[in-house]
Structure formats: C-alpha cells, structure tokens
Amino acid sequence: MRFAFVLGEIASGMRRNLVMVVSVVLVTFISLTFVGAAGLLQLQINQMKGYWYDRVQVAVFLCVENSTSESCASGPVTDEQRSAIEAKLNSPELSSYVDTVEYESQDQALVHFREQLANSPIVEAVTADQLPESFRVGLVDPEKYEVISEAFSSEPGVDIVSDQREYLEEIFGYINIASLVALGIAVVMSVGAILLVATTIRLSAFSRRRETGIMRLVGASKAIIQLPFVLEGVIAAILGAAIASGTLWAVLRYGGEWLSREYPQMGFISTQELLLVVPALFLLGALLAGASSLLTLRRYLKV
C-alpha cells in the first residue's frame, strides 16, 4: 500500500512539474556527458601512453652541412664518425639500455618526410641533402633516455639526440587540457543541475502543501512524506544519466570506428571502457539529485 502511494505521489509530482522535470533531465544529461567525456579522455591518454611509451625511440641525428651544434664544427658526419657512433650504440656498455638500432639514410628520411607532410606545400622544396641521417634507437626501458642522450650529445658527428616522448608529452598535454575543460564545464553544469533540482522540489512541495499537511495530521512518518519528492529528483537525474550514457556509447561506437579507419596506427578505447564510466555517471546523478532534494526539503518542507 505504501509503495503504491509513493509511486502515485511521484507520478503526480512529475506530471505537475513536467517542464521543470524535463529541464532537470536535460541539464543532468549535459553535465554528466561532460563528466563522462573527461573520464573517457583520461582512459584514452592512459591507453596511448601504455602503447606508445613502450615503442618510443630515441633519434640520434647526424651532422649535415647546415648543422650548428659544437660537435658538428668539422662539417657533415664522416664515414669514420658514423661507424664509431654505430659501434658505440652496439657496444657492451650500452647493451643493457639499447634494444634495437636502425639506420635511416637521407633518402629514407626524405621518403618519411614526404609521407608525414603529404599535403604540405613545402614538401617539393625539401631535398634529401637537407635532411639528416639518423640512428633510431629502441630502448629496453624508455625511462632511461638520459643515458643515450648523455652518451651521444657531445659525440663527434652527432647533431641532436631527440626523445620522441617529448612530442608525445605535448600531444598528451593537449588532451589533458581538453579533459580539464570538459570537467570544468561538467562542474558548472552540475551546479546548475543541483539548483534546478532544488527549485523543482521546492515548487513540487509548495504545490502539494495541502496534501503534506493532511499526511502530517494522520500521522504519516517523515520518510513517507519526503520520499516521493526525493525520488522525483533522483528519477529525473537517472534519466539524464541514461541519455548521457547512450550519447557517449554512440560517440565511441561510431566515432571510434571512423578514427580507427583513419588512423590505424593509433590505439583507441572501445565501448568496453564505457562500462567503467557508466556506473559512476548513474551514481553521481543519483547522489547529486538526492542530496539536493534532501537539503531543499529540510528547509522548505517541515515535518
């Protein structure tokens, strides 16, 4: 009997304040979508780091005609210097740090340059002799980049020692900024959702003040009187969380497929990772709505 009464009160309250309830659903949907997007971006960053950091290489660029570093003062790298650098990379002293060594000639560098900047107008103006030769060094432990850098920075014939992680960190930094922006928008929208839930519950309590007064007189408990109001906000927030989850699923499902086709060398998260985020969205929506409802009822609905 009590359960049927509570359901009836919830339906009555949501019907009376339908516009406000729809507003709560929409604001909750937007805020939780941004919360979920921030969480998924962090999962994407962690996956990319785990994938790329294991494959990161150190590039030992050799001197060319226009090199300006002190180790290139004698001009372009000579055959003797190149052989000495390769021998040092394959030496027993560095064997515990170096996993693989690949030589890239100037012609090969030009091919890679044209592949990477296929749509750039400067491609045709660059020639092979303008690009440096290099040794691409795969590390046993990518965190030990400094060992290679210290060993070759002042080596005759070496222009620059570059760690690819520097470029990856910059990319991850931009993704982190996007994640923080999404989280910031989510916080602002969540505050709006809380205020809107509070307003909806306040209006609902005001419109049913006569019924609640009668319920007090017949001895209804505080929990029975307040429960329909709390559940109204919680149900609206859960509906918003459900729509947000569906939106994020669609983005991962179809957007992820497109990105995987366009960038097959990259690793993207799938809809399976969404299972880590969706429960948090429902829980967060229910907690925000429930807490907001209880605080509002404590002030405007005296039992």
Last residue of a domain, one of 131, 163, 195: 163
Same domain, 132 and 255: no
Same domain, 98 and 124: yes
Q: Is 135 helix (H, G, I), strand (E, B) or coil?
A: strand
Lowest mean pLDDT among 50-54, 104-108, 169-173: 50-54
Same domain, 105 and 79: yes
Task: Spell out the residues 6+ positions from residue 121 whose beta carbon is closer than 8 angstroms to its own.
Answer: none
CA distance 70 to 158: 9
H helix intervals, 208-264: 209-217, 222-250, 256-262
Same domain, 202 and 292: yes
Last residue of a domain, one of 98, 129, 163: 163
Q: What letter would DSSP give residue 254?
A: I
pTM for the whole thing?
0.60
* Token pair of 1 as six digits: 């009997």
Same domain, 114 and 137: yes
pLDDT for residue 1: 43
pLDDT for residue 297: 66
pLDDT(125) > 90: no
CA distance 298 to 300: 6
CA distance 148 to 160: 11
Task: Spell out the residues 6+ positions from residue 60 whose beta carbon is closer than 8 angstroms to its own.
Answer: 85, 89, 134, 135, 137, 148, 152, 158, 161
Q: What letter would DSSP give residue 68?
A: -
The residue range of the domain holding 10 is 2-52+169-300
Same domain, 111 and 11: no
Same domain, 290 and 173: yes
Q: Which residue has the higher pLDDT, 101 or 45?
A: 101
- Which element (helix H / strand E) includes 99? strand 98-104
Q: What is the CA radius of gyration of the chain?
A: 31
| Cα–Cα nearest to 227, from 293, 284, 272 | 293
* Token pair of 126 as six digits: 């660059």
Same domain, 283 and 268: yes
pLDDT for residue 204: 64
pLDDT tens, residue by residue, 237-267: 899 899 999 999 998 888 877 776 766 656 6
pLDDT for residue 245: 92
The per-residue pLDDT of the chain, averaged, comes to 76
Same domain, 125 and 175: no
pLDDT for residue 282: 92
Last residue of a domain, one of 144, 163, 182: 163
Same domain, 185 and 284: yes
Which CATH number belongs to the domain containing residue 86 in this structure? 3.30.70.3040
Asked if 223 and 294 count as a contact pair (C-beta separation under 8 A), the reply is no
pLDDT(89) > 60: yes
Sole residue written with tokens 């991850």: 172
Query: β-strand 98-104 against 134-139: which pairing, if any?
Result: antiparallel
Same domain, 196 and 81: no
* Token pair of 253 as six digits: 């499902």
Same domain, 100 and 181: no
- CA–centroid distance for 255 within its chain: 15
Say how many domains are in the chain. 2
